[in-house]
């Protein structure tokens, strides 16, 4: 295995492709990082972010909120436990590609059904190994979610100058409405619960609270957490109206995570949320769902510099002072200063003070920016699912 990282190259148009390079990441400013490709061959264009989680690359790559993004993993050993059918957060390919410090090894895990490279190839997604990911991560931090083009050509036929042009032509995620592209096309019932020994993913047997979950790109483990907490979940597409939601006679409404700019998604989500709020139902939102609830209540969202993507982000619940270590994946945030009277900031990030939660005074309506379902990550915030179920009582 040749795993030495390749050097970053400036001024792509003038420099030759280094020997052995079969993949690269080209920035709009002309910086190019070369590496060795795995997974699918081809070209993809999107926004680059870094994820600091030490486990869970398969869940991360299949989180629909990563649509339009390429992920560089700061943890060096990615791929060593392969891929399995249980750790997928959705069936459709989502993140555009992955960048790793080491080339993936053969999988070593009793759970592995296949290696990372064939799994990515089957999904049409590009992998780039052997990259100096520290340097790449610093570039993301300094340049703020840069626009990039990534390419993998097994014969080394890379055209860095053309890729830089493609990165320049990318419009970015601001204003991008991606949720309806990754949402389900039709409503369906969800019964699977969280994985538990020895039965694995079992189905709910007893009747529970009737919950409508609006799918903006929902991770499966959120739906499982709702089911395990005692909800009979009906999932509706992102473009569902308030009438569609209320027609199911729900006792509570859940707003899912999802990709893209919440302000762009709000065009259809905000009127639905406002309609459901008028009906006075309990409501709980996660990540994109949190951002859109804030918009529906009169708040604002902003694009962050390079966002939060990891499984070790400390968040403080202001009412209790309790700190939770959380899973995060967001590039936009609710502007805590923009919240109107009656909407209370409930959680903040201890990394940068950004808003991580809101609640409506006197009503069972609340949401968080982080991911209480983890997948991957710690379960410190799991109590929020129970809080949602209790709010229906
Ligand atoms: N995980 C999510 O739901 C992400 C929400 C939104 N797309 C963001 O990047 O901020």
- Residue among 24, 231, 287, 356 flagged as catalytic: 287
**Which pLDDT value is given to residue 359?**
98
Using the atom order of ligand 1, give the atom closest to the CA of residue 178: 7
* Prediction pTM value: 0.96
49 catalytically annotated? no
**Which pLDDT value is given to residue 45?**
98
96 vs 71: CA distance, rounded Å:
8
Residues in the chain, pLDDT under 70: 1-14
**Which pLDDT value is given to residue 393?**
84
DSSP letter, residue 57: H
Residue among 144, 172, 287 to mutate when testing ligand 1 (max atoms within 8 A of CB): 287
* Mean pLDDT value across the chain: 95
How far, rounded to the nearest angstrom, does the alpha carbon of residue 158 sit from its chain's CA centroid? 29
**Which pLDDT value is given to residue 15?**
73
165 catalytically annotated? no
30: left (phi over 0), alpha (psi -120 to 50) or beta: left
Using the atom order of ligand 1, give the atom closest to the CA of residue 289: 3
Residue by residue, DSSP assigns 267-284 as HHHHHHHHHHHHTT--EE
Give the phi and the psi of residue 322 in degrees, each rounded to 5. -75, 140
74 vs 77: CA distance, rounded Å:
9
**Which pLDDT value is given to residue 1?**
44
**Which pLDDT value is given to residue 7?**
56
Domain spanning 179-391: CATH 3.30.450.20 = no
Query: Quick check: bond before 376 cis, omega within 30?
Result: yes
What's the CATH number for 8-169? 3.50.30.20
Q: Ligand 1 atom 8: the closest Cα is on which residue?
A: 330
- Sequence spans of domains, the chain: 8-169, 179-391
């Amino acid at each position: 295995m040749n795993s030495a990282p390749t050097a970053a190259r400036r001024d792509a148009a003038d420099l030759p492709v280094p020997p052995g390079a079969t993949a690269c990441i080209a920035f709009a400013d002309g910086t190019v990082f070369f590496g060795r490709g795995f997974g699918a061959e081809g070209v993809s264009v999107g926004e680059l972010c870094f994820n600091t989680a030490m486990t869970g690359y398969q869940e991360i790559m299949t989180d629909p909120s990563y649509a339009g993004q390429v992920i560089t993993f700061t943890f060096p050993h990615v791929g060593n436990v392969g891929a399995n059918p249980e750790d997928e957060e959705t069936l459709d390919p989502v993140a555009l590609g992955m960048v790793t410090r080491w080339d993936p090894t053969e999988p070593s895990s009793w759970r592995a059904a296949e290696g990372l490279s064939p799994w990515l190839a089957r999904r049409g997604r590009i992998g780039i190994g052997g990259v100096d990911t520290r340097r790449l991560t610093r570039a993301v931090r300094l340049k703020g979610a840069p626009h990039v083009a990534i390419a993998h050509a097994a014969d080394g036929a890379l055209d860095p100058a053309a890729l830089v042009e493609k990165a320049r032509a990318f419009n970015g995620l601001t204003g991008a409405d991606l949720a309806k592209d990754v949402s389900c096309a039709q409503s369906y019932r969800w019964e699977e619960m969280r994985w538990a020994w020895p039965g694995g993913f079992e189905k709910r047997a007893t009747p529970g609270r009737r919950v409508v979950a609006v799918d903006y790109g929902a991770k499966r483990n959120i739906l499982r957490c709702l089911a395990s907490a005692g909800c009979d979940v009906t999932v509706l597409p992102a473009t569902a109206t308030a009438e569609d939601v209320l027609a199911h006679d729900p006792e509570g409404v859940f707003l899912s995570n999802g990709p893209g700019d919440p302000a762009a998604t709000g065009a259809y989500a905000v009127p639905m949320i406002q309609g459901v709020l008028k009906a006075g139902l309990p409501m709980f939102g996660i990540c994109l769902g949190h951002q859109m609830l804030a918009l529906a209540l009169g708040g604002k969202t902003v694009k962050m510099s390079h966002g939060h993507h990891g499984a070790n982000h400390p968040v403080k619940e202001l009412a209790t002072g309790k700190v939770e270590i959380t899973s995060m994946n967001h590039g936009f945030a609710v502007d805590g200063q923009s919240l109107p009277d009656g909407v209370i900031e409930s959680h903040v990030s201890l990394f940068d003070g950004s808003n991580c939660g809101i609640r409506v005074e006197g009503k069972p309506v609340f949401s968080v920016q982080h991911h209480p379902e983890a997948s991957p990550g710690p379960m410190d915030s799991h109590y929020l699912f129970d809080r949602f179920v209790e709010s229906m009582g």
